Structure 1
């Protein structure tokens, strides 16, 4: 019996940086390349192409640091954009273990001011329970790299 894609990943995370800086880390191609991807994976800057507006796109490729033949392209379209507050988009999964190629899922990022810090609320899915767990682990690992970037 296979698990159906009914699970939504929800992560709430407090970053020790102003909301504008955290938002920029998700929307500036140089910064996305500097932190995105779990530890052991990187995003080559030349793979990042972003047009952050409603109907715009976000495309890049995560590459395994030890084996460049292992990669995961990301391709999304922005459906809602409120500068420094909200990013909503739809993505198509390719090369994601546990998901058939072409699977569509949504990503919602809310940026809340918490007295000079930023509370990020991330919602992504739907996923199977297994893929939701892998996505949670990947985001959590990526956020350690984002913490370091924001502290610099």
Structure 2
């Protein structure tokens, strides 16, 4: 039997920048506004606010148009810049779906840049976890990497 406690996703990517630069790209609202849409052919909607302190929140709303918006609120549980970030993430999509997960990210200096390791747990179903592993995080990491390379 699988429970949401056991539905964990673990991903890694080496990004071409220092841990400080990667941490800041991931947590700074103005930088996020750039990388959220850096690979899009047509600009969409990206609205982000960040209160980067334990207990603070990051709120993001994004999508191709006002009728197709995704939303996420992350509450910061642990902030150890530039080494680790832990959040509780609650979000949903235009179809009305929603979920809450825990996201634990580490940033480790390695040859060639920073090893970013994401561990996300609490998925409601294997299919949702796999979608995040194959689509959501891959897309986010591709965008962050493109942002870092262009800086």
Could you state the TM-score of these two structures normalised by the residue count of structure 2?
0.83
Q: Is the 8 A contact 2:68 2:94 kept in 1?
A: no
Count of matched residue positions in the alignment of Structure 1 and Structure 2: 144
Structure 1 position 72, deviation (Å): 0.9
Moved more, 132-141 or 79-88: 132-141
Q: Distance in 1 between matches of 2:94 and 2:8?
A: 16
Instruction: Rate the CA distance shift 1:13–1:77 in 2: closer, same or farther, 3 A.
Output: same
Q: What are the Cα deviations for residues 22-75 of structure 1, in whole angstroms up to 9, with x where unaligned?
A: 00101111111112379658552xx21101111111101121x3x441111111
Is 1:111 matched with 2:107?
A: yes
CA-atom RMSD in angstroms: 2.4
Q: Distance in 2 between matches of 1:148 and 1:39?
A: 8
| 1:95 aligned partner | 93
Could you state the TM-score of these two structures normalised by the residue count of structure 1?
0.83
Q: What are the Cα deviations for residues 108-141 of structure 1, in whole angstroms up to 9, with x where unaligned?
A: 1100011351000101122111101111111102
Q: Distance in 1 between matches of 2:118 and 2:22?
A: 13
Q: Distance in 2 between matches of 1:84 and 1:69?
A: 36
Q: Distance in 2 between matches of 1:135 and 1:123?
A: 11
Q: Distance in 2 between matches of 1:133 and 1:69?
A: 26
Moved more, 118-127 or 32-41: 32-41
| 2:35 aligned partner | 35
Runs of 4+ in 1 over 2 A off after TM superposition: 3-6, 36-43, 93-97
Structure 1 position 94, deviation (Å): 2.5
Aligned match of 1:83 in 70, 81, 84?
Answer: 81
| 1:129 aligned partner | 126
